[in-house]
Amino acid sequence: MPTRVGNRRLRAGLRAGAALPACLLLLALALPSPARAVDPELAGAVSLLLPGAGQAANGNLVEGGVHLGLSLVLSNQYLQRIDHPDYLPPAEREDEVNHTIRINRATVAADLYGTAALDLSFYSSFGAYRDARLQPGRQQDYATPPPRESLTDLALSPYRWEFLSRPTAWVPLLVPLYLALSPARSPQLIFAPDDSISRNELRSAFYVTHAMVAVGEEAFFRGFLNNGLSDRLGEGWGLAASSALFGLAHEGNAAQANALGAAIFGAYLGWLQQRNGYAIGEGVAIHFWWNFLTSLALVKTRAEGAVQLVSLNLRF
C-alpha cells in the first residue's frame, strides 16, 4: 500500500506533468517573432513554472538550459529525500506541549533541496523578467526602472556595508539580533534536534537556506512582482498587491510568520525597493539577516530567568 509520503510524491509528479503542457504553450507564446519582442511579464511567468523557459525565450539558451537542469536535479533530490523514513513533514514537527520543533538530518537535507528548487524558480522568473525589460526599446514602455542586479550582486548584498550601514537596514535588525543574543527561556519555541544532527550543523544549514531564501524571494516578490505591479497599478496599489501576495505565500508554513506579519514585512521591503530606485539589494540584506538571526534564536538551548520580548514566529 502506498505510504502518505509516497502519495505526496506521486501527486507532485502528477502536478508537474499536468503543468508541462501549459508551460510549453506559454513558452511558445513568449518566443520572439519578427513582429514583437519577448513580453517581460510572460517571460517571468513561464520561468516561474518551468525554470529556464523565460531565458530560452529571451535567446539565452545556455542559461536557460542551466536553470532547467539544476531545477530537475534539485527537484529529484528533494523527492528522494522526502521518501526517507526519518523525514518529518512540516505538520508533524512542532511539539506544542514541550514548545519544541522536532528536526533531524534527513529533514534538514530535504528542506535544503526543496528550498533550493523553489528559490531557483523564483530567481529564474526574476532573471527572465529583468533580461526582457533590458531589451533595446523597452524602457519607454514602463513607468518603473528595469531591474539590473545580477545573481552575484544579490548574493553579495548581505555583506555590503553600503546596505548594512543604513538606518533603514540596521534599525529593524536590532530586534532579531536581540533574540539571537539573549538567553532562551521556557516556553520559548526552540529546535529539538535528535542525535543525527548537532546544533552547529543546524546553524550552518540555516545559513545556506536563508541565503537562498533571501535572494529568491526578494528577486521574485520585489524584483519581479512589485516592480511589474507598481508599473501597472501605480506604486501604492502595486506595493499593496505584491505585499499581500508575499503574505499569502507564507500562510500555513510552520515556525514562520503568519500571512499578516509576512505582508507587513513585505510592504516594508517593497517600500525600500521603491525608495532605492527599484534596486533590491538592501532588501536581500535585511531579509537574510532577519531570518538567520531569528533562526539562531530558535537553535539555542533554554535558560531559566531570561526575559523574552516577543514570539519567535518571525521568519519570512
- Encode pLDDT of 140-151 as tens digits: 889 999 999 999
In the predicted structure, residue 286 carries a pLDDT above the cut 70: yes
Residue 110 maps to a domain: no
Residue 278 maps to a domain: yes
What pLDDT is stored for residue 34 in this prediction? 42
Per-residue pLDDT band for 254 (boundaries 50, 70, 90) equals low
For residue range 165-206, list pLDDT tens digits in order.
Answer: 999 999 999 999 998 888 877 677 889 999 999 999 999 999
What pLDDT is stored for residue 190 in this prediction? 87
What pLDDT is stored for residue 170 in this prediction? 97
What pLDDT is stored for residue 303 in this prediction? 63
Burial of 130 (0-12, 13-18, 19+ CB in 10 A): buried
Average pLDDT over residues 56-80: 96
What pLDDT is stored for residue 309 in this prediction? 38
Average pLDDT over residues 232-246: 97
Residue 229 maps to a domain: yes
Q: Average per-residue pLDDT in the chain?
A: 86
Identity of residue 99: H
What pLDDT is stored for residue 96 in this prediction? 83
Residue 205 maps to a domain: yes
Domain of 214 in residue numbering reads as 142-316
For residue range 10-59, list pLDDT tens digits in order.
Answer: 444 444 444 555 455 445 544 554 434 689 999 999 999 999 999 999 99
Backbone angles phi, psi at 14, to 5 degrees: -65, -40
In the predicted structure, residue 111 carries a pLDDT above the cut 70: yes
Per-residue pLDDT band for 66 (boundaries 50, 70, 90) equals very high
* Other CB atoms within 10 Å distance of the CB of residue 126: 30
Taking the C-alpha atoms of residue 7 and residue 58, their distance in angstroms, rounded to an integer, is 37
Residue 84 maps to a domain: no
* Cis geometry, peptide bond prior to residue 187 (ω within 30 degrees of 0): yes
| Number of domains within the chain | 1
Residue 250 maps to a domain: yes
Higher pLDDT, 240 or 302: 240
Residue 54 maps to a domain: no
Residue 244 maps to a domain: yes
Q: 149: which residues sit within 8 A by CB, 6+ positions away?
A: 130, 223, 279, 280, 281
